[in-house]
Structure 1
C-alpha cells in the first residue's frame, strides 16, 4: 500500500496504490471505496482472478470487519451457494521495501517450514460406510501423529469432505524449497505417506483424485509493517502457516483498520505518517502473535512441541492456543489506533 498525492484533482486528498489482488488487497480496496476523496489503484500481476482452492476460514472475529465493510450479506449467499466457491491464496512480498531497508531483508523472504500439505476434496457419497459413521461429517476432526497430521471437515453444504494431510521434515525447516509452492501431484505420493495410519485415514486418502501439494511457508515476525508512505498488509506483513486457519482473517483485519485510518478526516498527505504508524501500533503485535501461535500449533499437532505425544499435555496446551481470539476485535483496535494517531497529532 503506497499513498501518493494527486495534484490533478482538488477533491482527492491522496491516491492509494495497492500492490496485489489477494484477500488483503481486495478488502483494503473495498474498505477505501466508501471514501470518495481517496483514489485507489489496485495492481495485480495475474491477468485475471482465479480460484486455486485454498479456501477461506471465516472465524467469529473475522466476520465483524466483513460486516462493517458491508459484504456480510453477499458472503452469506456465497457460502450457501456454489460447491466450487473458494478464495485465492497467494504470498505477496513487497521486495522493494527490503531493497530500501537492508536490515529488513533477512525477514522479507518467506521461509519453508519443512511441511508439505496435500489438499483434496472428496465427495461424501463416495465415502465408505464405516467412515460415514465417524464424527468427521458432524464436526472438524484432527488426526495427530509424529511429524504428520490430517484435518477433515465438511464443506459445500455437507456434500464434500475437505481433507488436508500434512507431512513435515523438521530438518528442512527454514530452508529454501526447491520446486513450485503449489502444484498437482500423484495421489500415491500422499497415500504412501500414511500407509501405517488407521484405516479410516487411509481409506479417505485413497479416494483422492487430484490432490494439490502445497509447500507451507511463513515469515519470521517482522519488526516493522510501515516505512515512509509504504504499509504492509496481509501475507506481505505476516504470511503464516494454516494451522489455525487465521491468515486470511488477519489480512481482513489489516485491511479494515488501515482503510479506516486512511479515510479518517484527520488523515491528509501531511498527517499520513501518523496514520500509518497508528496502523502498525495496533496490528503488528497482534498479527505477529497469531503468526507465532499458528506455527506453534503445527508443532503440537505433529508431536514436535514440548508436549511430545502426551495427550493430556497436548489438550491442556491447545485449550489456550486460541486465547488470542479473545483479544481486541477490529472496533477496539481502531479506537486504540485513532487514539494513538490523535496523540501524535497534538
Structure 2
C-alpha cells in the first residue's frame, strides 16, 4: 500500500465497471479491485452501438485502435448514417421518412467482443470472480468501507462504485440508508426498475442469408435501419465486420410504462412463429429479414425512474445502476463509459485525496446526473415516437425532424469538456470550504 492514496472497489464487471478499472489503472497511486459475481466477465445481448462522443473517450484511453479492429467498419471520422427511418407497417413496400446523419455514423460492435477489449486492457490481479456483493458497512464517515460477499468473504476499500446493473444491490442499500437518515421516503420509489411497456425480440442473422432472390445485399447490411410502425418498430444493423446483422424487434404498450411486469424471467426463448405473427402484415423487407431468425429470444425491457442522486459519502453509482435505460437511442453503453471517464478523471486529479473523496463524488454527480437522466428519459421518449405514439403521431413530415432533435445532446457538450467542468466544480467547492472554515 506504500504510495497508494486510496483504494477503489468496483462491484460489477460489465462495460462501465471495466472501463472505470482500465481508466483508473492509468494512475499508479490508486489501487483498484474489480469484484464480479459471475465466474468470468461476460455480456448478454449481441450488438452494442456507440456515437462519436464515446469514440472520443476510447481514443483518450488509447484504445481506439483496439476497438477499430472489431467495429463493423474502421471508424474514420467521416459523416455516416446514424439511422435510416422507414415506415414499414403495411404489406406494400415502405418508404424512408427521415435520415439521421452523424460524424462517424453509428459505430457498431458485437457486445462480447466490445467487452473483451476492456478485459484485455485490465492489469493482472485486479479482477476477482464469484464475488456477489450482499452489503457494505461503514462504521464512520471517514473510515474505510467493508464489503460482504455471498461466499462469506469480505474486502475493504475507501470508495465503492456500484457498477452492478439495473438490479443494483449498491443502489438499494444506498437509497434505503439515505431514506432512513433523512426521512425522504420517496427515495425508496427509485430502488426497483419498472417496465417500459415494451417487449423486444432479438436475433442474429449471417449477412449472406439476407441476400434477396437476385443476390442483392439487404440494405441493413450497409445501413443501420429503423423500421417504424404503430406501437412496434424493428432495429437492425450489421456487426462483426458486416458479417452478422443484429435485429431488435420491439412491440409496446405505452400505457403500461412504469408498472411492474409479470414475474417471469426477463429473457426467455420463444418461437419463430410468435415473432412472425407479431409483424404479420409488415412490408416484405422486414418480414423476410425476420424469417431468417430461427431461434429468437424475448426480452421484457425495464428502466429506472430518474434518480435524484448518484452518490452518498464515499459510495457512487455508475452505468445501469445509476441510469438503466431503454435501448432506443443506443446510448446505454456510451453513458456508462462517460460515467467511468469522468469519475476516473476526478479520482485521478491532484485535488482528490482520501479526505476529499466525498467532494469528488459530488462533482461526478453534479456533471453526470443531469445528462444521465436526460438520456434515460429521451431514450424512452424516442421509442414512443418511433412507434407513432408521441405527440406527432404518424405525421411523418413533422415526426422526422422531431426525432432528429432527440439527438441534440450528442452535440451540446463533449466528454473532455464535461470532465474539465467536473474538476472545476471540485476545485471551487474545496476552495469555498476553506474560506468557510476561516
Same fold (TM over 0.5): yes
1:86 Cα deviation after fit: 4.3
Aligned residue number for residue 247 of structure 1: 332
1:45 to 37, 44, 65: 37
Task: Give the secondary-structure state (helix, strand or coil) at the position aligned to 1:56.
Answer: strand
Q: Does 1:204 align with 2:196?
A: no
Q: Name the TM-score, length of structure 1 as normaliser.
A: 0.92
Task: Give the secondary-structure state (helix, strand or coil) at the position aligned to 1:216.
Answer: strand
Aligned residue number for residue 181 of structure 1: 266
The number of aligned residues is 338
Q: Does 1:74 align with 2:66?
A: yes
Q: Name the TM-score, length of structure 2 as normaliser.
A: 0.73
Task: Give the secondary-structure state (helix, strand or coil) at the position aligned to 2:238.
Answer: strand
Distance change >3 Å, CA 301–CA 86, structure 1 → 2: farther
Q: Write the distance in 2 (CA, Å) between the matches of 1:105 and 1:231.
A: 17
Distance change >3 Å, CA 297–CA 32, structure 1 → 2: same
Are 2:196 and 2:303, in contact at CA under 8 Å, matched by a contact in 1?
A: yes
Quote the RMSD (CA, aligned, Å): 2.1
- Give a deviation string over 1:146-182, Cα, whole Å, max 9, x none: 1100112222222222211101122332122221122
Distance change >3 Å, CA 300–CA 319, structure 1 → 2: same
Q: Does 1:110 align with 2:193?
A: yes
Are 1:53 and 1:86, in contact at CA under 8 Å, matched by a contact in 2?
A: no
Are 2:15 and 2:337, in contact at CA under 8 Å, matched by a contact in 1?
A: yes
Larger gyration radius, structure 1 or structure 2: 2
Task: Give the secondary-structure state (helix, strand or coil) at the position aligned to 2:350.
Answer: coil
Aligned residue number for residue 152 of structure 1: 236
Q: Does 1:220 align with 2:309?
A: no
1:1-346 matches, cutoff 5 A: 9-79=1-71, 85-87=112-114, 91-93=166-168, 94=170, 95-102=172-179, 103=185, 104-129=187-212, 132=216, 135-178=219-262, 179-346=264-431
Q: Write the distance in 1 (CA, Å) between the matches of 2:72 and 2:253.
A: 38
- Give a deviation string over 1:48-104, Cα, whole Å, max 9, x none: 122423422121000111111222122122336997854569535122112212332
1:135 Cα deviation after fit: 3.1
Q: Write the distance in 2 (CA, Å) between the matches of 1:62 and 1:84.
A: 15
Aligned residue number for residue 6 of structure 1: none
- Unpaired runs of 5+ residues, structure 1, are 1-8
- Unpaired runs of 5+ residues, structure 2, are 74-108, 116-163, 180-184, 432-438
